[in-house]
Amino acid sequence: MGLTKFVSHHHDDGDNKSPNILVNGMGRFSKDEEKTDTPLASFNITQGYRYRFRLISNSILNCPIQMSIDNHTMKVLASDGYPIVPIEVDAITIAAGERYDFVINANQTPDNYWIRFHGLIDCAPLKAHQVAILHYEMADFDEPEGLVNYENCYVDGKVLNPVNVAPGTEDDITVAELNSTSKADENWNKEPDVKIWLAYDFYEVNNLHFHDPEHYPIFLVPHRRKLFTPQLNRISLKMPPVPPLSQPSDVPYERFCNTTTVGDCKNEFCECIYVEHVPLGSLVEMIIIDEGNTFDATHPFHLHGSAFRVLAMERLGNVTTLDDVLALDAAGKIERKFSAAPIKDTVSVPDGGYAVVRFIADNPGYWLFHCHLSFHVEVGMGLIFKVGEQEDFPPVPRNFPTCGPWLLNREDADLPPRSTSAIVFEEETTTSVSSNNNESNVVDLNINVLDLVQELSNKFKSSAVATAPTILVFSVVLFLSF
């Protein structure tokens, strides 16, 4: 389902909108007067007790979900697994990758109560919503009364983590306004060792995976046909071909990049292995900026390997720029909260605003920082932190599996060596990738592969056996030719 929607959205007229929400894999769906009667998720409680719930969103789309429980408030105790000073709310908005722990007090008349889920942003066009049941012991197993629809699954009141809202509003509580129960080390207050500015948006650039500058330029196609590319600092992350932690000798370090090594990414599509190298033990500050020009969206950014403290958050308007936020910071107008700043590993930045986070880089290795929306990270909305040096990394276990391209050579195929005048297959495949004269090299490669296939066919008498290596060889050629 996810792959189908991705291909349809990026290469055709399909959309990335979700029609439904599931709760613990359960739920109902209505469309064009057709209604499913499948079971709903149900949670059994006993009057007089308190119950701790752990709310997790494994959403892959830009679909924050507001959750509420009829006749009950929720006392939130933790965010992303890190404890906070408890806060009581009427609803929680959870973005992809986030987690919240909350407690409810079972102090209502024993009955059945709706737990409501209301989809926002990309879940709004198709009115995606869902319900579950809070069932009190001694109550009948009837469903709660009342009509359930998209509109009444949204509730007013005190909402935690609202979408695209700045701190300071009366009823809404942003994550930056939460307070951690863990006292921050005094080192958090000092000037950071590394300061990284990350501005992002959807950019109108000829992403070579979707727009050929000569035959299908983004500036000449209708708006509905344009694929706006989500990027950090106008760079698309290309994943390394091998795991850099376990195969350091195979890593193409020359393909690493950052904002100091790329060219004119505003006018040209920049795609590379985007790496920010930070010293082990350093205090790192990230100022994450949603410029907000193309769509009114929200991006939940997730950091692997560490958690950060959220020091500041603001929405400056519908749009902003990196220069705007740089000017604010230079003027001392970004107030950072050092006392009891909440600890998280996922944060949604307000559209047209910014968030300031800090973490101590004490976990050596390569760690991904990325938008948690699959349609965005899959096309490069992220970067890799390299924390420390190679000697700081844990040793690779003996006989640890390796990854990389599989290329059939003559020795592996148990074939006699070619004459010295012939070009070796392995060398030629390498040349066809790196040479600028791709056309002639690819032709030579195909000829040699055909020779190799012919020799394999002669070697194996059974056509059934010979079929498998033939398919494998041609799959390699197709990959290299592109």
Q: Is the pLDDT of residue 8 over 90?
A: no
Residue 453: in which H helix or E strand, if any? helix 438-459
Q: Which residue has the tokens 């969206």?
A: 297
Mean pLDDT over the full length of the chain:
84
Q: How far is 142 from 49, CA to CA, in rounded Å? A: 22
Q: Do the bridges between strand 256-257 and strand 343-344 make them parallel or antiparallel, or are there none, so unpaired? A: unpaired
- Beta-sheet pairing, 229-232 with 194-203: antiparallel
**CA separation for the pair 241, 248 (Å, rounded):** 11
The residue type at 217: P
Identify which has the larger pLDDT, 60 or 340: 340
Hey, what are 414's tokens? 């148990």
Write the DSSP symbol of residue 468: H
The stretch 271-277 carries a mean pLDDT of 97
Query: How far apart are alpha carbons 172 and 174 in whole angstroms?
Result: 7
Q: How confident is the model at residue 236 (pLDDT cuts 50, 70, 90)?
A: very high
Taking a C-beta distance cutoff of 8 angstroms, is the pair 166, 320 a contact? no
Q: How far apart are CA 111 and CA 313, in angstroms?
A: 41
Q: Does the pLDDT of residue 446 top 70, yes or no? A: no
3-state SS, residue 258: coil
Rounded CA gap, 273 and 382, in Å?
10
Asked if the model's pLDDT at residue 72 lies above 90, the reply is yes
Looking up tokens 């500015």 gives 197
What does pTM read for this prediction?
0.82
Nearby residues of 137 by Cβ (< 8 Å), 6 or more positions away? 44, 45, 46, 47, 110
- Contact predicate 330/287, CB 8 Å: no
The pLDDT assigned to 18 comes to 85
- What pLDDT shows up at residue 33? 67
pLDDT digits (tens, 9 = 90+) for 205-221: 999 988 988 888 988 88
Q: What are phi and psi of 68, to 5 degrees?
A: -150, 160
For the cut 60, the answer to whether the pLDDT of residue 268 exceeds it is yes
Q: How confident is the model at residue 425 (pLDDT cuts 50, 70, 90)?
A: very low
Residue 439: per-residue pLDDT: 37
Selection from 151, 160, 79, 162 nearest residue 116 by Cα: 151
Asked whether residue 372 carries a pLDDT value surpassing 90, the answer given is yes
pLDDT tier for residue 481 given thresholds of 50, 70 and 90 = very low
Does 223 have pLDDT greater than 90?
Answer: no
Please give the backbone phi and psi of residue 479, each rounded to the nearest 5 degrees, phi first.
-65, -45
Range with the poorest average pLDDT among 134-138, 222-226, 273-277, 358-362: 222-226
Query: Does the pLDDT of residue 461 top 80, yes or no?
Result: no
pLDDT of residue 11: 65
Choice between 287 and 295, residue whose per-residue pLDDT is larger: 287
Residues 298, 303, 309, 311: is their CA dihedral positive or negative? negative
DSSP state of 401: -
d(CA 370, CA 378): 10
476 or 303, which is more confident?
303
Work out the number of other CB atoms within 10 angstroms of the CB of residue 383: 21
Residue 456 has pLDDT above 70, yes or no: no
Q: State residue 416's pLDDT score.
A: 61
Check residue 426 and give its pLDDT.
36
Q: What is the pLDDT of residue 478?
A: 22
Q: For residues 78-91, give the mean pLDDT.
A: 97
Give residue-wise pLDDT tens across range 305-335. Answer: 999 999 999 999 999 999 999 999 999 999 9
Predicted confidence band at 226 (pLDDT cuts at 50, 70, 90)? Answer: confident
Q: Give me the residue label for tokens 């003996």.
A: 398
Kind and range of the H or E run holding 78? strand 74-79
Measured distance CA(375)–CA(386) in Å, rounded: 24
pLDDT for res 423: 32
Please give the Cα distance from 273 to 36 (Å, whole number). Answer: 46
Helix (H, G, I), strand (E, B) or coil at 331: coil
Cα 54 to the chain's mean position, in Å?
21
- pLDDT (mean) for 50-63: 93
Report CA torsion sign: 253, 257, 260, 266.
Answer: positive
pLDDT score for 119: 95
User: What percent of the chain lies above the pLDDT cut of 70?
Assistant: 81
Give pLDDT, residue 238. 95
Which residue in 418, 284, 299, 416 sits closest to 363, CA to CA? 284
415 confidence band (pLDDT: 50, 70, 90): low
* Cα distances (Å, whole numbers) of residue 121 to 75, 142, 163, 285: 26, 32, 9, 29
Rounded distance between C-alpha atoms, residue 218 and residue 229, angstroms = 11
At residue 362, the pLDDT reads 96
Tokens of 218: 């983004």
- Determine the distance from the C-alpha atom of residue 401 to the mean position of all C-alpha atoms in its chain, rounded to a whole number: 26
